[in-house]
Structure 1
Amino acid sequence: MLDTLLTTVGALALVVAVFSGWIQRSPVSGPLLGLLTGIALGPVALGVLDLPSLAESHRELHDLSRILLAISVMAVALRYPFHELRTVTGPVLLLLAVAMPVMALSTTAVAALALGAGLGVAALIGTALCPTDPVLASGVASGEPAERSVSARTRRLLSLESGANDGLAMPLVLIAVAVAGTATAGGVLLESLWQILGAIALGAATGLLGGSVLRRGADRDAVTPGPVLLFSLLLALFVLGAAELLRVDGILAVFLSGIAFNATSTGEERADDNKIDEAVNGFLVLPLFVVLGAVLPWSQWAELGWRGPALVLGVLLLRRLPVLLLLRRPLALKWRDACYLGWFGPIGVSAVFYLTLEADRLDLDPVVLPAGTMVVAASTLVHALSAPPALALYRRAAERTRERTTDTTPHKPS
């Protein structure tokens, strides 16, 4: 089965590489192609990929999503020069401190109403689905179509929020685990503090050290181009492993390590590294989505009945968009930017990471994992298909604004 999976993922990666330019401009993203390939080759269709069920393979999915998230948030941290990151620090902190908890609460409420679930189950779903996924968000925050249409500030906000909130969602998830299980409030508080403070210390130390070492090596011509291009990837994996050994928040530690590395390095010694980061991020996502597509719990989705689609519709419409519209003025956003940021808060790898973490910490719930993966699959589909028309609408709104500005600008007499 491993050879079949490797062949499938390898063939798909070759297709994505050959048609990468077309895929960037089309409504078919790499993650969506992976998901559809997994469904087509899974037990509900051709039966080529006969993988263990979602309940049986959730630990493997957790490890795979953890590695992919680490690489992705490192790419986000290195996507822009550090001086550009500082210009949006305040808005990003507002999104993390206000928008993310409100999104967790609103998603919890939607889950409770749509599924008729108790507080524990609803909170597990709500907190796992609240973070914006950096893997899926990269498709609408970077790349030629987005860079040509969307303002740089809006793209930076989406990128940095998606990178930071994946790790910072951990305390919210731990609270949900405590509500649904037997953990005490004191135990959750202590674990959250250790996870966050430990991640800050580990991430800052490794990023600063890594950036300083690489910079000195480059100054002395001691580093060849190959290792330089792979340095950020290796740093992400090192921090992720160290964080697991220390039992701290690995995703947050990797992101902060990338920020510290970005601040320490000059950028000259890794001028081409951003391209490598994006390429790695684009191809490494394929195995996870192929596996996810092959293990989607169709029979459990059917048991949800109309409640499943109601959950999906409620989450996609109410989880994020109203919050960003209410925060438009504090975030200094134009209407088009608030709508764009409000709609494109995709749910993907980070949700798989937290859903499988919850399944590992608690007894498998018959609703949480199936309902959560239904939203992940729907978000992968809907946000990919809506990207091209959303970019077109954004461009038209920007053009109308420019035309009105031109019409109202007084002309100087010749």
Structure 2
Amino acid sequence: MTVDVLLAAAGALALLAAAWSDWFRRLPISEPLLALAIGIVLGPAVLGAVDVPALLEDHAWLHTAARLLLAISVMSVALRYPFHTARGRTRPVLLLLAVVMPVMAVVTAGLAAWTLGVGLGVAALIGAALTPTDPVLASTVTTGEPAEQDLPGRDRQVLSLESGANDGLALALVLIALALAGPLTMGDALLETLWDVVGALLLGAFLGWLGGQALKAGADHGATDPGPELVFTIVLAFAVLGVGGLIHVDGIFAVFVCGLAFNAVSTGREREADVRIDEAVNRFVVLPLFLAFGAILPWSEWRSLGWAGLLFAVAVLFLRRPPIVYLLRRPLRLARPDAVHLGWFGPIGISALFYLTLEAERLSIDPVVLVAGSLVVAVSTLVHGLTATPGRVLYRKVAGPKGEAVDATRERTGSSSGGDG
């Protein structure tokens, strides 16, 4: 009964979003935020129409759902732009991954220790889980005609690619946090990190190349029907995720690398077909998860945190990312408006839920990790969902028109230079 109610509500919201897609994208509220709000109303806090296990009692299903959704989302990111365009954003993306991401983890851990009064191990676990920029929530800023018209292609590309890559690479930070919390030695954590990352690179590159070659061969010989071709990359993402789990490498990062490799070897026609279905799935499949998350929000545990919990969530949104990106605007080659916008829109969502529940599965963590982490995810969904449209409009007013309608056409057709200038 519970699942049926959630699916019916998600289906109704998806139908509305599909029927009035452009209008929805211009609303000062995101679809994940609407789904979260509906989940709260349907949950035990209001109507009690759904009865789902509490977050602290059973979170295995949430971890599995987040893992599958992230696989779809990072594949969508990897296919979103022509490969040469993505390659042209290597420098700023690497800077965000190598410098900004670790600093965000340290800042978030420090904020947790300061506001919540937790120890080093717990603070490290919270900081690592809340570090990655969420590709699902980020897509509300980077995709759609309004975003393409108002925001520079370079900014959207960098944010998209960062959110796709750091979801997997954040596992390294989580493993280090697990070492600080006790169950792993630092040596074991570093060895596991090395295998996770290198193994994911090799697995993703090989299966992405193999998938691209197989689809091209089928198309060349007329053996690939249009229907199966459209869902090929989703099936490929799940296959990579499964193989990654079997050989114990970072499956999410492997899927992202697989998408980039597939993008590099496939034709433009194949990429455009795949990116359409991947973007659609990424947009609508997320709704049931946010509905379910809204229904299991730990209200009583949040209240037990008191004002310290709210202070922590607000401090994370304002101090975890914006100051760091702004200070690095010159190496990132960002003008001030771009640095402010890119710094602010680094939302925390499904990826954080994935790592919070992963930490809970790896060891018996202090409940404050899940409680404080889920509070930050909910606040980020609310705040970034409400500020995405106004922020985009404000950016356009401050930075001026950029001719992004033309730039968006070039992105889709693959005719842009993809350079970093």
TM-score tier by shorter-chain length is: over 0.9
**Aligned residue type for 1:357:** L
CA deviation map 1:56-84 (0-9, x unaligned): 22111000000000000000000000011
Local SS of the residue matching 2:46: coil
User: What's 2:413 paired with?
Assistant: none
**Aligned residue type for 2:269:** E
User: What's 1:407 paired with?
Assistant: none
| 1:71/1:236 contact within 8 Å kept | yes
User: What's 1:242 paired with?
Assistant: 243
CA deviation map 1:299-343 (0-9, x unaligned): 000000010111011100000001101110001111111111100
| 2:22/2:145 contact within 8 Å kept | no
| 2:357/2:370 contact within 8 Å kept | yes
User: What's 1:5 paired with?
Assistant: 6
| 1:104/1:130 contact within 8 Å kept | yes
Cα 1:400–1:25 change in 2 (3 A) is closer
Report 1:10-409 matches (<5 A): 10-399=11-400
Cα deviation for residue 286 of structure 1 reads: 0.8
Cα 1:400–1:249 change in 2 (3 A) is closer
Cα distance in 2, alignment partners of residues 298 and 364 from structure 1: 19
Cα distance in 1, alignment partners of residues 400 and 377 from structure 2: 33
Cα deviation for residue 351 of structure 1 reads: 0.3
Cα deviation for residue 365 of structure 1 reads: 1.7
Cα deviation for residue 258 of structure 1 reads: 0.1
Cα distance in 1, alignment partners of residues 100 and 25 from structure 2: 29
Cα deviation for residue 197 of structure 1 reads: 1.1
Cα distance in 1, alignment partners of residues 307 and 187 from structure 2: 39
| 2:130/2:352 contact within 8 Å kept | yes
| 1:55/1:364 contact within 8 Å kept | no
Task: Give the 4+ runs in structure 1 shifted more than 3 A.
Answer: none
Local SS of the residue matching 2:80: coil
Cα distance in 2, alignment partners of residues 374 and 18 from structure 1: 32
CA deviation map 1:21-43 (0-9, x unaligned): 22111122111111111100000
Counting matched residue pairs gives 402
Cα distance in 2, alignment partners of residues 269 and 204 from structure 1: 18
Cα distance in 2, alignment partners of residues 342 and 325 from structure 1: 7
Cα distance in 2, alignment partners of residues 364 and 3 from structure 1: 32
Cα distance in 2, alignment partners of residues 336 and 28 from structure 1: 22
User: What's 2:419 paired with?
Assistant: none
Cα deviation for residue 8 of structure 1 reads: 2.6
Cα distance in 2, alignment partners of residues 57 and 226 from structure 1: 37
Cα 1:280–1:400 change in 2 (3 A) is closer
| 1:228/1:270 contact within 8 Å kept | no
**Aligned residue type for 1:122:** A
Cα distance in 2, alignment partners of residues 401 and 191 from structure 1: 45
Structure with larger Rg: 1
Cα deviation for residue 90 of structure 1 reads: 1.1
**Aligned residue type for 1:326:** L
Local SS of the residue matching 1:272: helix
Cα distance in 1, alignment partners of residues 270 and 390 from structure 2: 38
Cα 1:77–1:401 change in 2 (3 A) is closer
CA RMSD in angstroms comes to 1.3
Q: TM-score scaled to structure 1, two decimals? A: 0.95
CA deviation map 1:101-152 (0-9, x unaligned): 0010111111111111111111111110010000000110111111101111
Cα deviation for residue 400 of structure 1 reads: 8.8
User: What's 1:408 paired with?
Assistant: none
| 2:29/2:388 contact within 8 Å kept | no
| 2:152/2:402 contact within 8 Å kept | no
Cα 1:330–1:270 change in 2 (3 A) is closer
CA deviation map 1:356-395 (0-9, x unaligned): 0011111142211010000000000100111122112111
Cα distance in 1, alignment partners of residues 48 and 86 from structure 2: 46
Which range moves more in the overlay, 382-391 or 342-351? 382-391
| 1:133/1:162 contact within 8 Å kept | yes
Cα distance in 1, alignment partners of residues 169 and 97 from structure 2: 8
**Aligned residue type for 1:263:** A
